[in-house]
Amino acid sequence: MNGSRYDILFEPVQIGPVTAKNRFYQVPHCNGMGHRAPSGMAAMRRVKAEGGWAVVCTEVCEIHPSADISPHNEARLWDDRDIPALARAADAIHEFDSLAGVELGHHGFRAQNRISREIPLGPSSHTVVSYDPVQSRAMDKEDIRNLRRWHAAAARRAKQAGFDLIYVYAAHGLTTPMQFLSRRYNQRTDEYGGSLENRARLLRELIEETKDAVGDTCAVPVRICVDELVGPAGLCSDGEGRDLIEMLADLPDLWDVTVGDWSNDSRPSRFGEEAVHEDYVSFVKQVTSKPVVSVGRFTSPDTMVSQVRRGVLDMVGAARPSIADPYLPNKIKEGRLDDIRECIGCNICAAADNTYTPIRCTQNPTMGEEWRRNWHPELIPARESQDRVLVVGAGPAGLECAVSLGKRGYEVALAEATTELGGRVLREPLLPGLSAWGRVRDYRLGQLHQLANVEIYMDSHMSADEILGAEFDRVVLATGSSWRRDGVARYHRTPLAGLDEKAIYTPDDIMAGRIPTGPTVVFDDDHYYMGGVIAEKLRDLGLDVTLVTPAPVVSGWTANTLEQPRIQKRLLDKGVTIVANQGLVGFSDQAAKLACAFTGRETTIEANSVVMVTSRTSHDSVYNALAAMGDQVRDAGIKSFSRIGDSLAPGTIAAAVFSGHRYAREFEKPESDEVPFLREVSELGPWSARN
């Protein structure tokens, strides 16, 4: 789109000896595939290049067995045998004239070395950050020389693999050069400790030696933390963070600027808006002539332009926006802004890495499936038949299913019982901090409006009989689920007896505006976001709220989405009382009876009401009624009826979207016992090597 206000985003940028074709820069991001699923990783990066990102980087790449952060699946260049896997990614990125970057990393005392069993190395002796009973040893001069040699060797391997940008990584507290930089971690008294200049010595050496090794043809960017968010005790952007950039200003070929640890860099939308780091980052361009990139969950092209025009950034960094929409640059270029699948900031992508599984995304159901299922975020095979499909229910599962079937060219009817589309992604975004989650609905409604072959029927509650009479070839039930009232989840596997039912609420009640009064207990045995969000909402309404959970912390699973500490802090700051390690065992006569999760010892607390945030029941009555009709269904011309999303099994919004998408792609496929995706099986080592 020439002559557009977004043209500035498509200007080339020189990075050392290489040129990026535009300003879109996919910064390194983990993906749970790494060295264990290299083709999956390569295909995922390839689709970003195809979508217009000028620079596409790998995740962190361990340079040596002493940088082993297993079971996290990151990239590896331990030796030459690791080159072909990474070459596959570099080659795939080059297919679209994009530059391939690799983030070499040595993890210092953040590496537990669980597989390699090497002793972790660090500037000083520290316990590792996890609870593993492991400590690093302080590196001596020989260790430092070794590390520099390993890094240069890995850089040469990366060049051999075909990478154009070869990083030195000193950010997120995760790597050895960063640990040397921070006075929190570096208590050395030699020339690598003490003054900032001394603490920066290792970083300087690594930059210089990486340039010596590969700098003739490859750019050497540095990923740096300019503010550890601990005040003067660490690097800060009005203190040592700034001094450091001034000191090394033009040494690297590009500054990739970060703030705080990963949970801050990838701030969930519940705790940070777009461009949240600007105040910390904006000084960097004033003190260097080299290009500057940073992230900020940028999905708005206007924000991107503003960052460039105001001299905050030269390149628009993105991890999550490139995951949610690998085609973000091309869509901006083509003026297709309404087609952008905007990241919602839920961090389900990060949770995949943290649970050691291939990346997934709430907004983009094809993410991580590019190679193993051959799914593409923008392309979907044309229909195979004239089948007419009825989708019942317009939550995330039904919406995604209808959109994807519609894009395939099927004639689709989407019937929704209520007068609004969205199901849970209509209701939940109204809860505190979750407004960005409404983008799941917004994107799909925008797509539906472009599809003339999808008819929408509102206010259409479908019974099994009505479905039978509706004359469709295929029926998909996406009827969702409701929160249970009886306490059943993990702590209670059978209903809790003797509850004062009039005063029991569920998240569905709260979202429907049925609000408890007086002191209220939120019993959270779900452990994802809902318990914390409901407690926050009720507290905001002025209630005296006690969150009771059998877990040691609130919203425990959100440790995987990088949210847990912020959730607990927010609840405490707002005055929610947190009672951990306790189960709710009874509620009557304005008293909630609790039991210690370890001893079973009982106590009571005063409560007018209890909100059960436990588990959900699928809405499967229509499905079951159809199933009970036997041949009548076939006689009515229905070839198949299926459940998707929460009506099949309650889960995340990401799982509902995936389920709807999968149905749309696979419903014609014959049933099969084959593994439904490609996988890479480890190559056997030489058997002769055994004793």
Query: Pick from 5, 461, 574, 679: which binds ligand ADP (CB under 6 A)?
Result: 461
Least separation in angstroms between CB 428 and ligand ADP: 9
Q: Is 397 left (phi over 0), alpha (psi -120 to 50) or beta?
A: alpha
82 makes contact with ligand ADP (CB under 6 A):
no
27 makes contact with ligand SF4 (CB under 6 A):
no
Q: Which does 304 bind (CB under 5 to 8 A by kind): ligand SF4, ligand ADP, none?
A: none
Least separation in angstroms between CB 379 and ligand SF4: 19
172 makes contact with ligand ADP (CB under 6 A):
no
Can 361 be counted among the known catalytic residues?
no
415 makes contact with ligand ADP (CB under 6 A):
yes
DSSP 239-280: THHHHHHHHTTTSSSEEEEEESSHHHHT--GGG--TTTTHHH
Can 457 be counted among the known catalytic residues?
no
Provide the 3-class DSSP secondary structure of residue 227.
Answer: strand
Can 169 be counted among the known catalytic residues?
yes
Tokens 């590969």, residue?
A: 214
345 makes contact with ligand SF4 (CB under 6 A):
yes
Sheet holding 411-415, edge to edge: 454-457, 411-415, 388-392, 474-477, 640-643
Query: Pick from 62, 416, 442, 563: which binds ligand ADP (CB under 6 A)?
Result: 416
Query: Pick from 168, 345, 647, 665: which binds ligand ADP (CB under 6 A)?
Result: 647
Least separation in angstroms between CB 657 and ligand ADP: 8
Query: Pick from 622, 629, 638, 664: which binds ligand ADP (CB under 6 A)?
Result: 622
The two structure tokens encoding residue 411? 């004639």
| Binding characters for ligand SF4, 511-530, by CB under 6 A (x = yes) | --------------------
Applying the rule CB under 6 A, the residues between 297 and 326 that interact with ligand ADP are none
Cβ atoms within 10 Å, residue 446: 15
| Binding characters for ligand ADP, 475-504, by CB under 6 A (x = yes) | ---xxxx-----------------------
Cβ burial of 444 (10 Å; 0-12, 13-18, 19+) is buried
Applying the rule CB under 6 A, the residues between 380 and 399 that interact with ligand ADP are 392-398
Least separation in angstroms between CB 503 and ligand SF4: 36
Q: Please give the span between the terminal C-alpha atoms of the chain, in angstroms, as a whole number.
A: 66
Q: Which stretch binds ligand SF4 (CB under 6 A): 41-49, 65-73, 357-365, 577-585?
A: 357-365
Q: Which does 646 bind (CB under 5 to 8 A by kind): ligand ADP, ligand SF4, none?
A: ligand ADP
Catalytic residue among 265, 314, 353, 525: 265
- What is the C-alpha separation between 237 and 222, in angstroms, rounded? 16
Query: Pick from 70, 136, 263, 362: which binds ligand SF4 (CB under 6 A)?
Result: 362
- What is the C-alpha separation between 613 and 610, in angstroms, rounded? 9
Q: Which does 618 bind (CB under 5 to 8 A by kind): ligand SF4, ligand ADP, none?
A: none
Helix (H) or strand (E) segment spanning residue 585: strand 582-588
Residue nearer to ligand SF4 on the CB measure, 14 or 560: 560
The two structure tokens encoding residue 396? 């995330």
Task: Tell me the CA distances in angstroms from 275 to 267, 278, 312, 563, one per residue in order.
Answer: 10, 6, 10, 18
Cis-peptide into 71, omega within 30 deg: yes
Write the DSSP symbol of residue 422: -
Q: Which stretch binds ligand SF4 (CB under 6 A): 125-133, 256-264, 355-363, 627-635?
A: 355-363
The two structure tokens encoding residue 602? 């009982």
Radius of gyration of the chain from Cα atoms? Answer: 27
Tokens 């083509």, residue?
A: 334
* Catalytic residue list: 30, 169, 172, 265
Question: Interface residues with ligand SF4 (CB under 6 A)?
Answer: 320, 323-324, 343-349, 361-363
Give contact residues for ligand ADP (rule: CB under 6 A).
Answer: 392-398, 415-418, 423-424, 460-462, 478-481, 619, 622, 645-647, 656
